Amino acid sequence: MKKFAAFGLLALSYIYSPAGFGQTPLTSDEINAAEFVDAMPEGVSALTVKLQVLLDRAGANPGVVDGVAGENVTRAIRGFEEINGLEVDGIMTPDLWERLRSPEPVSVTYTITALDLEKIVAGIPTDYAEMAKMEWLGFTSGAEALAEKFHMDQNFLISLNPFARFIIGENIVVINPGEQAAVVVTRIVADKSNERIVIYGENDQPVIVYPATIGSDSTPSPKGTHEVNGIAVFPTYAYNPDVNFQQAENTEKLTIPPGPNGPVGGTWIDLSEPTYGIHGTPDPSKISKTASHGCVRLTNWDAAELAKLVKPGVVVTFIEAAKSIY
């Protein structure tokens, strides 16, 4: 059972403001009270935090919740419009806000449990040969573990809890991303041009949109249509420089241990195209912003959600552009 409670009026934690933006602090109460009027503010805002959470709950996933109105927010708005059969332009409007609004609080308190802090490790090496010597590539702090649990940027979580030690029994402020999606997945489209994957359900309608990193110029993703072969939770990673890519000076095959901070994150959805899959990532803030080694990379929480919904045999089609977007 989730240990949530509405965030009280006495809390005065502040939102993290990333470098390059203004440093005006925002209270957690402002997040819950934020309402869209006629335009999205620039930079970090309580309204953007609330919008990111509402989009996440609606299946139009925005990546990490950080209060920044960037490309992933626009991409998520487009996804919400497409899911709901609306004109797709990525522009926030009062009508969209009314469709998204919910009385359920966005800012809540949570009591940290022992399970949240299981298998924390001291650090993760960048070199695959050093990774291979470890048994588990876990989170390196309670803050990192809890940020991923609640779909948040780690610095954003810390800023909401500036005095937190992130220990068992401690109450912290988090955002509430809502419940696991419950849909029947009939097919998946990996939209390379728009850096997203679209999940289709019954009646061949889009039901979920995830931001994604899909291949690169040097290691492109597959083309055409493939199928889901199977699913692995906390998989090991078979590094083979002769087949995929060479990492650092590592020229030999290696078996990288499992864990959320491994090369493929906490989930591997295997595709019928050899060596390719849909998987998680150790760095959720970079989803749709950097290249991958040919696979489809999602946040760990999006990959975990999809793994619970998809079944072997589901078709995955890779396309260069989607006509309904742009």
pLDDT, tens digit, for every residue of 227-272?
Answer: 999 999 999 999 999 887 788 889 899 999 999 999 999 999 999 9
Q: Assess contact for 261 and 124: CB atoms under 8 A.
A: yes
Output the pLDDT for position 43: 84
For the 187-319 domain, the top CATH level (class) is mainly beta
* Share above pLDDT 70 across residues of the chain, in percent, rounded to a whole number: 87
- Is pLDDT of 218 > 80? no
Residue 25: which pLDDT band, with cuts at 50, 70 and 90?
Answer: low
Amino acid at 84: N
Selection from 39, 35, 40, 44 nearest residue 68 by Cα? 44
Domain assignments of the chain as residue spans, ordered by start: 1-179, 187-319
Q: Which amino acid, 91?
A: I
pLDDT confidence of residue 248: 81
Mean pLDDT to the nearest integer, 116-125: 97
pTM as predicted: 0.89
The answer, yes or no, to whether residue 74 has pLDDT greater than 90, is: yes
- CB-based contact 232:270 (threshold 8 Å): yes
Mean pLDDT over all residues of the chain? 89
Q: Which residue has the higher pLDDT, 326 or 31?
A: 31
> What does the pLDDT read at residue 44?
82
Answer for the pair 92, 40: CB distance below 8 angstroms, yes or no.
yes
Confidence tier at 326 by pLDDT (50, 70, 90): very low
The mean per-residue pLDDT over the stretch 101-117 comes to 96
What pLDDT score does 220 carry? 73
